[in-house]
Amino acid sequence: MVDLLDLTLPELEQWLQERGEPRFRAVQVWQWLWQRMARDFDCMSNVSKACRALLAAEARITWPEVARVQESTDGTTKFLLRLEDGAMVETVLIPSDSRDGVRRWTQCLSSQVGCAMGCTFCATGSMGFERNMRMGEILGQILVARAHLGDDRPDWPILRNLVFMGMGEPLLNLTEVMRALRSLNDDRGLNFSPRRITVSTSGIQKGLKELGESGLAYLAVSLHAPSQELRAKIMPRAARWPLPDLLAALKAYPLKTRERITFEYLLLGGVNDQPEHAEALARLISPLKAKLNLIVYNPTPGAPYSAPSEAAVLAFEQALWQRHITAIVRKSKGSDIDAACGQLKAQNRAD
């Protein structure tokens, strides 16, 4: 039985046409699914009774099930979600400062159950890879979040931005992630323009090229080290694509007007947070149209790292500014609820 959330709009059109439904039907159903967040067919009041019966007999709508919600004192809200086969993934809602009294949100999405990249600092990486998420599961995270926020006005959404920075390496689940991005872009559906979406990658050659050519999202690259040698220690599998080659690909990466590549640099105490690292990093990225997010490491049990000292973080940031690199320390949100990638799932296992 097909899950309607797994069909793109053209696929839904074809599916309905094959069953004798008129062409306009697909858009009606699509709007119910993605804008009005329907979870059953009965509520689809402008869809004929016959069609609703057909849908009930041959299709389903499966949202991820919320297994656990944790809210941080700063508003960051983390969901542990159970997928149909029992697989668990996480998604996080991060509040942005409110203008005009209305709080807006950014959602951090997972794209795989687990991750094959095995970065040494990452809770998801330590779990290994279970499976790819399907389009409906990826986008289902957004439905859960919008329902939680009561975000039901497609013309004025308070869920403003999406970042693929949850569990998994999105560019290793390229087919489903690209389908999700295309569906997000549809203004009769979730209506997220590419400027409101960022895909974060540890650097996957084939996927990077395809994402760039599609123009469907902004790009963030997890760098975490200024040299091939150190990067190979911190993220051994990602570093199989040598740093000079990754940077050459990024130089050639197609950017939109005013777009810059975001580099993410996780500061690990005593490992990559010293002045010489800042200097090498500045040299490395200054030829690129880029900005830098410095992320303070959130300790994960069992990982061989500690958080950097506050003084080291400040000095690192200043060294970059002096070299005219736009570097911003990302305030660690939700650290009281282990909001870093994979941590809630890891903790749940330990419970």
| Binding site residues, ligand SAH, CB under 6 A | 121-122, 165, 169, 200-202, 222, 264, 266, 295, 297-298, 300, 340-341
For residues 285 and 321, is the Cβ–Cβ distance under 8 A? no
| DSSP bridge partners of 90 | 80
Among ligand SF4, ligand SAH, none, partner that 298 touches (CB below 5 to 8 angstroms by kind) = ligand SAH
Is residue 71 flagged as an active site residue?
A: no
CB under 5 to 8 A by kind: which of ligand SAH, ligand SF4, none does 203 bind?
none
* DSSP summary character for residue 340: S
Closest CA to 291 of 253, 322, 265: 265
Which one of ligand SF4, ligand SAH, none interacts with residue 211, CB within 5 to 8 A by kind?
none
Backbone angles phi, psi at 91, to 5 degrees: -140, 150
Binding ligand SF4 (rule: CB under 6 A), the pick from 115, 135, 162, 211 is 115
User: Quick one: which segment of 68-76, 114-122, 150-158, 310-318 binds ligand SF4 (CB under 6 A)?
Assistant: 114-122
How many CB atoms are located within 10 Å of the residue 208 CB? Answer: 21
Among 21, 90, 137, 264, the active-site one is 90
Token pair recorded at residue 319: 């060294």
- C-alpha 245: how far from its chain's center? 24
- Separation of alpha carbons 16 and 221, rounded Å: 40
Q: Is 51 a catalytic residue?
A: no
User: Site map for ligand SF4, 155-194, x if CB under 6 A?
Assistant: -------------xx-------------------------
Smallest gap from Cβ 28 to ligand SF4, in A, equals: 38
- Sign of the torsion formed by the C-alpha atoms of 306, 310, 315 and 316: positive
- Closest to ligand SAH by CB, 35 vs 201, is 201
Using CA atoms, how far apart are residues 123 and 304, in angstroms rounded to an integer?
12
Site for ligand SF4, rule CB under 6 A: 115, 117-119, 122, 124-125, 168-169, 202, 222, 235, 341
